[in-house]
């Protein structure tokens, strides 16, 4: 690693401080001896709230950019309409009632972050998750089941952020400063530089040094731990009964499809980072994430985007249609051919593409919505899927929060028509979904946003690990086959847990 000059310089920082409340100070270092994971482990030890976002492109190569953050300037949580914002290490706490997405919009606007040339495409913002139950603030749904013990939504604005560029083997280190009219601007700038220098010392150190005397040193152990036993929140019989009831609604004309899920749970006997290490080996995916906010940690390998907004372009990619991977290339190709020829899978996929077009059309310019790559097969470690792309140009007067509101939750985890499908889910599933079928990602300072669907995700909370998976129910669904689909979709996560427990 070699130091480069800090930017902006002090004169430019003074200019930015006049107009903005959040101003970054950054520098670039050589990072050819580290992976994003080792940088994350060195950087974030000791911090409660932290994240790592990585990606695998096409199931074959690592994505160019990875993002790491910790040390929040502020945090945002909501449960129902109860919202809490914590600042300055919990020294300042505000509680009020309201709708989460409008509150997040106001918060991001109030932060008034400065743009500095030379920073990566994503350099800061609100990072976190939207739980499935956010839908209750967007649609008038029955509120039968009790609130879960963790937030419906949780976000943070990290003070420290690292953007790792695997192509150039460089990392941009960013420290966000928060200013008010009474601050000593020179002192704020000097403090940011000291924080970046301290971060460099951390990143240059050996990994084991950081964990030698720390409670988190268990994440480096490799000896075997007794393998976990998973229990489901439904029996095969109760799941089958749920499917049959859903089919009655379908035959009555209430819905065309509804996605029903079950949850698998086991004891948590190791640190979540060890699970993440295993999951990124077992099931690398377009959206790999480790997100720890408060007492909830999500370790995910989601294959599916919820929605992305970049430069005014809206994009989502519905995934519907699944087959397991073959034992060899010949069987893989045979299963692909079978999937592409399956009329049920194709009809379900086209229906969800149409639903995606309708969602994007709600916030896109008229005539700008299009479908790209209709029904291509994408392969992952344990399954293959049918995937399509839906795009549109953001309409004037709309923003990143409007985009999420229009597309949340994804039709691929709810059904169609979406609102009636969600009502049926609420009636038939025995528990609220929590983070499952929601979204993980960010609202960027510059107006961009990127969220994946919270599927293929392990939730660590209160000494438990939970995995949830669903199946799309249609008129001719076979309950046993749909039950098995939930097992297949959860298998990569189960194997990651088993690997983490065995040691590697």
DSSP assignments along 86-121, one per residue: EETTTTEEEEEES-HHHHHHHHHHHH-BPP-TT--S
Residue 1: the pLDDT is 44
Phi-psi region of 463 (alpha: psi -120 to 50; beta: other; left: phi over 0): left
Helix (H, G, I), strand (E, B) or coil at 222: coil
- Alpha carbons 446 and 315: distance in angstroms, whole number: 17
Pair of tokens at residue 149: 């013990």
> Which segments of the chain have a pLDDT < 70?
1-4, 58-60, 144, 208-226, 504
- Alpha carbons 171 and 39: distance in angstroms, whole number: 10
291 has which bridge partners? 51, 298
User: How many angstroms separate the Cα of 299 from the Cα of each of 35, 59, 430?
Assistant: 18, 18, 24
Helix (H, G, I), strand (E, B) or coil at 307: strand
Residue 238: the pLDDT is 98
pTM for the structure as a whole = 0.94
Residue 58: the pLDDT is 63
Helices 400-407 and 100-111: crossing angle in degrees, nearest 10, is 160
- Alpha carbons 332 and 474: distance in angstroms, whole number: 26
Pair of tokens at residue 99: 């709708």
Residue 504: the pLDDT is 67
The label of the residue with tokens 């980072």 reads 273
Burial class (CB in 10 A: 0-12, 13-18, 19+), 223: exposed
Residue 214: the pLDDT is 52
Same fold flag, 10-220 and 231-267+299-502: yes
Say yes or no: domain 231-267+299-502 is CATH 3.40.50.880.
no
Phi-psi region of 36 (alpha: psi -120 to 50; beta: other; left: phi over 0): alpha
Phi-psi region of 286 (alpha: psi -120 to 50; beta: other; left: phi over 0): alpha
The label of the residue with tokens 């065995």 reads 502
- The H or E element containing residue 319 is strand 319-324
**Contact present, 207 and 41 (Cβ < 8 Å):** yes
Residue 2: the pLDDT is 45
- Alpha carbons 210 and 216: distance in angstroms, whole number: 9
DSSP tag of 136:
H
Name the pairing type of β-strands 319-324 and 305-310.
Answer: unpaired
Q: Which fold is adopted by the domain 10-220?
A: Anthranilate synthase (3.60.120)
Contacts of 346 (CB under 8 A, 6+ apart): 321, 340, 375, 386
User: How many angstroms separate the Cα of 110 from the Cα of each of 103, 105, 450?
Assistant: 11, 9, 21
- Alpha carbons 318 and 357: distance in angstroms, whole number: 10
172 has which bridge partners? 28, 163
Query: Cβ atoms within 10 A of the Cβ of 182, count?
Result: 5
- Alpha carbons 291 and 53: distance in angstroms, whole number: 8
Domain ranges, ordered by start, for the chain = 10-220, 231-267+299-502
- Alpha carbons 160 and 67: distance in angstroms, whole number: 11
Please list the active-site residues: 385, 412, 436, 456, 472
- Alpha carbons 500 and 504: distance in angstroms, whole number: 7
């Amino acid at each position: 690693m070699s130091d480069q000059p800090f930017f902006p310089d002090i004169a430019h920082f003074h200019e930015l401080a006049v107009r903005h409340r959040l101003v970054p100070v950054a520098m670039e270092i050589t990072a050819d001896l580290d992976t994003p994971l080792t940088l994350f482990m060195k950087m974030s030890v000791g911090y409660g709230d932290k994240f790592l976002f990585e990606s695998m492109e096409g199931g074959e190569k690592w994505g160019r950019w990875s993002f790491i953050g910790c040390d929040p300037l502020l945090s945002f949580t909501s449960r129902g309409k109860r919202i809490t914002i914590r600042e300055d290490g919990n020294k300042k706490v505000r509680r009020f009632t309201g709708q989460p997405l409008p509150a997040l919009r106001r918060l991001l606007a109030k932060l008034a972050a400065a743009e500095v040339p030379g920073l990566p495409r994503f350099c800061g913002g609100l990072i976190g998750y939207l739980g499935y139950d956010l839908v209750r603030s967007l649609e008038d749904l029955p509120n039968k089941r009790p609130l879960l013990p963790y937030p419906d939504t949780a976000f943070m604005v990290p003070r420290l952020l690292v953007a790792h560029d695997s192509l150039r083997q460089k990392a941009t280190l960013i420290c966000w400063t928060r200013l008010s009219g009474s601050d000593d601007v020179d002192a704020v700038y000097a403090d940011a530089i000291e924080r970046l220098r301290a971060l460099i010392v951390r990143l240059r150190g050996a990994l084991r040094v950081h964990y030698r005397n720390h409670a988190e040193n268990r994440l480096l152990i490799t000896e075997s731990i007794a393998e976990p036993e998973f229990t489901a929140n439904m029996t095969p019989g109760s799941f089958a009964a749920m499917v049959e009831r859903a089919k009655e609604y379908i035959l009555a004309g209430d819905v065309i499809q509804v996605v029903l899920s079950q949850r698998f749970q086991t004891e948590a006997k190791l640190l979540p980072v060890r699970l993440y290490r295993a999951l990124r080996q077992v099931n690398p995916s377009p959206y790999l994430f480790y997100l720890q906010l408060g007492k909830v940690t999500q370790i995910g390998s989601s294959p599916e985007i919820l929605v992305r907004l970049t430069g005014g372009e809206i994009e989502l990619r519905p995934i519907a249609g699944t087959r397991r991977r073959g034992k060899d290339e010949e069987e893989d190709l045979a299963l692909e051919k079978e999937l592409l020829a399956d009329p049920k899978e194709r009809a379900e996929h086209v229906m969800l593409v149409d639903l995606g077009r309708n969602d994007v059309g709600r916030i896109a310019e008229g005539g700008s919505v299009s479908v790209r790559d209709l029904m291509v097969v994408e392969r992952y470690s344990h399954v293959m899927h049918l995937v399509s792309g839906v795009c549109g140009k953001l309409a004037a007067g709309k923003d990143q929060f409007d985009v999420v509101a229009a597309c949340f939750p994804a039709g691929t985890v709810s059904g169609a028509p979406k609102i009636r499908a969600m009502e049926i889910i609420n009636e038939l599933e025995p528990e609220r979904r929590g983070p499952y079928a929601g979204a993980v990602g960010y609202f960027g300072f510059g107006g961009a946003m990127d969220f994946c669907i919270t599927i293929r995700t392990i939730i660590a909370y209160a000494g438990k690990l939970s995995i949830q998976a669903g199946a799309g129910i249609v008129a001719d669904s076979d309950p046993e086959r749909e039950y098995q689909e939930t097992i297949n979709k959860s298998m990569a996560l189960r194997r990651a847990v088993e690997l983490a427990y065995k040691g590697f």
